[in-house]
Structure 1
Amino acid sequence: MIKYEIPEMLKDHEDLIKRTLRYSNEISFKREETNPGESKLGGCPYLKNIKDYPMDEAGEPMLFIAQINLADLENLDELPEKGLLQFYVVNEEMFGLESPVLVKYIEDFEENEEPLIRTNPYENEEYKMNLPYSHSGKMYFKTREMPMSSSLDLFHETFKNELSEVEYEKLSEDCYSCDSRIGGYPYFVQNDYIGFDESDFLLLQLDIEDECGIMFGDAGNCVFSIPKDALKNKDFSKVVYDWQCC
């Protein structure tokens, strides 16, 4: 666990800052082969039958972005204790920004991997053209305690009138919450168009990364969030997706 250390000049506001702390599982990546049930970026999702692979409204295969094995995560009580989360977007140059996305929850999955599909059945050159990463890979997680992201509208509402201008600037710099993660708070390159607040949960953020070459547009990242009440009911139809770039 990586604990958050409040800067000395902000100690007078320690209680206020601590009230915003959330746990985050920070993601690192390795270009490694993955098994069907592992947490991964791209590659082949857990798939028993090719007919189960998601299609978009036009009948074309969606881009498989990532898969999370929930058993790999720590300190994220809002999530189910077990199962897989799979993230898909429409395969086009805007990474499905204005189209429906799919977050698929598989609560029970086969431990015996022998009958499973091991290669993405649609991963040809045309499929790869719009991938927001250059290499697939395995995910690794590290738990972090993090304060509210300074890119949120909620950050401004929470701290602007409570801190001096110098203190506010210092905290804003300290709460620059880029990098890939599950849980905690998202980072928006431009603006918080989705209005992320206390009632929302960050399902996945993928940020610029060198090992697997992640990048959305020009130095951009993506965010998948969900209302906590929908997450409690395992209703992943309520997921909100956004990506932004410079």
Structure 2
Amino acid sequence: MTNKPSLQLPNDFEQYRTIIEETMQPVIEINTTECKTSLYESKFEGNPYFPLTMKYPTNNEGQPLKLLAQINFADVPKHLPHFPIEGILQFYIDGYDDVLGMDFDNGQNPAGFRVIFHEQIIQDESQLMQDFSFVKLQGEELYFPVEKEMALSFEESFEPLMIDDFRSNEVYAAIQQQVEEDVELEDKFYETFSGTGHKMGGYPFFTQEDPRAYGDYTDSTILLLQIDSIGNDIMWGDCGVGNFFITEADLQRKDFSNVLYNWDCH
């Protein structure tokens, strides 16, 4: 892991530098390029790496889930604690469902989404599924936040606690008290600590509220993946954001069966 860089802060927040810098966490920022990808590459949308011996994930009605994202850790800088250093991690969601497979009452209910980790990668493509035309049923339009296939590239960085994270109310209490008295300063605060963008690790962004603030999700502190509404080809509802969270213990075990899935929009 690289050393933490000095944090660039607006002058108004210099007096809080110590509080803010203590929250710094490693993050992998994700950039996209619209193009066709191989079965093995990291991507948003497109065709997944999928061994013929495995059962393809489906919803409760037996309809196939669709690949939202695939991360090949061979391409990712070794920067995030406890994340795999090899293997392929995949995120599937239900494109036949107008809420994209999210369960509002139980964000860990995998009926409408699945996170699958392939630890051993088969190099022989003849042993992999090649035809995914069954995912889009004829005459049925899929709801889907990512409209075009995109290859991913990764950049390592660090970021401070973001304002939407449920832990910020306590950590940033003194700062929030000050900025609430100054509209211009408040805008700058929310802009500086927004947490937007595609990423793994670091801290999340929400357009509504952090689902981990209530319920049984407070242990799901690690942001496994965030996909934001960026550009013309990624759109969660009305300019929203999608996030996946995991507990540190599950991540260390490479157990992706209790991931918390959330998306929201304005």
* TM-score of the superposed pair, with normalisation by structure 2: 0.83
| 1:133 counterpart residue number | 146
Aligned length: 245
Q: Relative to structure 1, is the Cα distance of residues 97 and 187 closer, same or farther in structure 2, using a 3 angstrom cutoff? A: same
Q: Relative to structure 1, is the Cα distance of residues 178 and 163 closer, same or farther in structure 2, using a 3 angstrom cutoff? A: closer
> 1:184-207, CA deviations, whole angstroms, 9 ceiling, x for partnerless residues?
111010111223768611111110
1:165 is displaced (CA, Å) by 1.1
1:119 is displaced (CA, Å) by 4.0
Q: Relative to structure 1, is the Cα distance of residues 110 and 126 closer, same or farther in structure 2, using a 3 angstrom cutoff? A: farther
| 1:106 counterpart residue number | 118
User: Do the aligned residues in 2 keep the contact of 1:186 with 1:223 (CA within 8 Å)?
Assistant: yes
2:193 to 171, 175, 182: 175
2:32 counterpart of 1:29: yes
| 2:88 counterpart residue number | 84
> 1:138-172, CA deviations, whole angstroms, 9 ceiling, x for partnerless residues?
11111221111111221111111356513983433
1:28 maps to a residue whose letter is N
| 1:152 counterpart residue number | 165
| 1:120 counterpart residue number | 132
| Structural RMSD (CA) | 2.4
SS in structure 1 at match of 2:224: strand
> 1:10-29, CA deviations, whole angstroms, 9 ceiling, x for partnerless residues?
22222211111111111111
Unmatched tracts of structure 2, length 5 or more: 104-108
| 1:215 counterpart residue number | 235
2:98 to 93, 114, 118: 93
| 1:14 counterpart residue number | 17
| 1:224 counterpart residue number | 244
2:98 maps to a residue whose letter is E
* TM-score of the superposed pair, with normalisation by structure 1: 0.90
User: Do the aligned residues in 2 keep the contact of 1:63 with 1:127 (CA within 8 Å)?
Assistant: no
User: Do the aligned residues in 1 keep the contact of 2:220 with 2:260 (CA within 8 Å)?
Assistant: no
User: Do the aligned residues in 2 keep the contact of 1:25 with 1:141 (CA within 8 Å)?
Assistant: yes
Report the Cα distance in structure 1 between the residues aligned to 2:179 and 2:169, rounded to whole angstroms: 14
User: Do the aligned residues in 1 keep the contact of 2:212 with 2:220 (CA within 8 Å)?
Assistant: no
Q: Relative to structure 1, is the Cα distance of residues 121 and 49 closer, same or farther in structure 2, using a 3 angstrom cutoff? A: farther
Unmatched tracts of structure 1, length 5 or more: none
Report the Cα distance in structure 2 between the residues aligned to 1:8 and 1:161, rounded to whole angstroms: 16
Question: Could you tell which deviates more after superposition, 120-129 or 175-184?
Answer: 120-129
| 2:106 counterpart residue number | none
Report the Cα distance in structure 2 between the residues aligned to 1:128 and 1:120, rounded to whole angstroms: 16
Report the Cα distance in structure 2 between the residues aligned to 1:187 and 1:128, rounded to whole angstroms: 29
SS in structure 2 at match of 1:34: coil
1:173 is displaced (CA, Å) by 2.6
SS in structure 1 at match of 2:167: helix
Report the Cα distance in structure 1 between the residues aligned to 2:134 and 2:241, rounded to whole angstroms: 24
Identity, in percent, stands at 30
